[in-house]
Amino acid sequence: MRRTTTTADEGVVSEIVTKFFLNTCRLRLKLTKYAAQAVRCCAEIASAQPIDDEEADYIPLITGSVAEFYVEPMLPHVGDIDVMYHSSTELAIPRGHPPPTQLPAECSNYVEVFEIVDSHLPGYVYLELRYLLTKCIDNDKYDNCIEYGNGVYFTIYNYTGDKRNVHGPAVLTDYRQRLGRPTPLISVDVVRCVRCLSWPPQAADWPM
């Protein structure tokens, strides 16, 4: 007979897990060697200038275990470093939403806006170019809007141009292969992204 899990059972399990972490872990130090390597990787990305767009800047973000773990378990828990980055001239919005007029300060004076379009595969989408927004100097709003026709889609490319270690959307840098010798540096996965200011409806179930 299968036993149904209740809210009380989930509370007991949560308490057990919490006690385990508190008894076996310590708060993570403010700066670890992995965090320092991640920051260095972000600096390299931020200093790389897009070849075809002088207005654009790359904006990196550390993700994964290096950014999300705030404890130091007894056993190592960091397998690699994950970094996402997006361009200051690109933005994504859910399909049918009006283009925004207020954008974060990191955005450039003009921004290409892509609509998030469903694909034939669950969890995968297309980004279709829909608008070109231009910042108005007088009020800092993106009032000038040009609407594009259909048929132009966002294509992933990486800032290094290195195609040898591409794994799906990520570009892997394995420092042991690069340096040809043992090194304390761990591998880095870098993923090119497009920023979306709201949670896309296609990912509504992901938190669960």
pLDDT single digits (tens) 66-87 = 777 666 655 556 678 899 999 9
Decide: 123 and 202 in contact? Cβ < 8 Å.
yes
pLDDT single digits (tens) 108-166 = 999 999 999 999 988 789 999 999 999 998 888 998 889 987 778 888 754 455 556 78
The closest of 201, 202, 206, 205 to 122, measured between CA atoms, is 202
Decide: 130 and 114 in contact? Cβ < 8 Å.
yes
Least reliable range by pLDDT among 4-18, 35-49, 93-107, 193-207 = 4-18
Read off the pLDDT of each residue in 183-197 and give the average, rounded to a whole number. Answer: 88
pLDDT above 90 for 178: no
pLDDT single digits (tens) 113-126 = 999 999 998 878 99
Instruction: Please tell me the predicted confidence (pLDDT) of residue 102.
Output: 92
Q: What is the mean pLDDT of the chain?
A: 82
Calpha distance 143→155 (Å, rounded): 27
The residue extents of the domains of the chain are: 27-203
Where residue 89 falls (left for φ over 0; alpha for ψ -120 to 50; beta otherwise) is alpha
Instruction: Please tell me the predicted confidence (pLDDT) of residue 143.
Output: 84
Q: Quick one: tokens of 108?
A: 């450039």
Read off the pLDDT of each residue in 98-102 and give the average, rounded to a whole number. Answer: 92
- The span from the first CA to the last CA of the chain, in angstroms, equals 26
| Beta strand residue intervals within 40-98, DSSP E | 58-63, 71-72, 81-87, 90-94
Q: How wide is the angle at C-alpha 57 spanned by C-alphas 56 and 60, nearest 5°?
A: 145
Read off the pLDDT of each residue in 190-194 and give the average, rounded to a whole number. Answer: 92
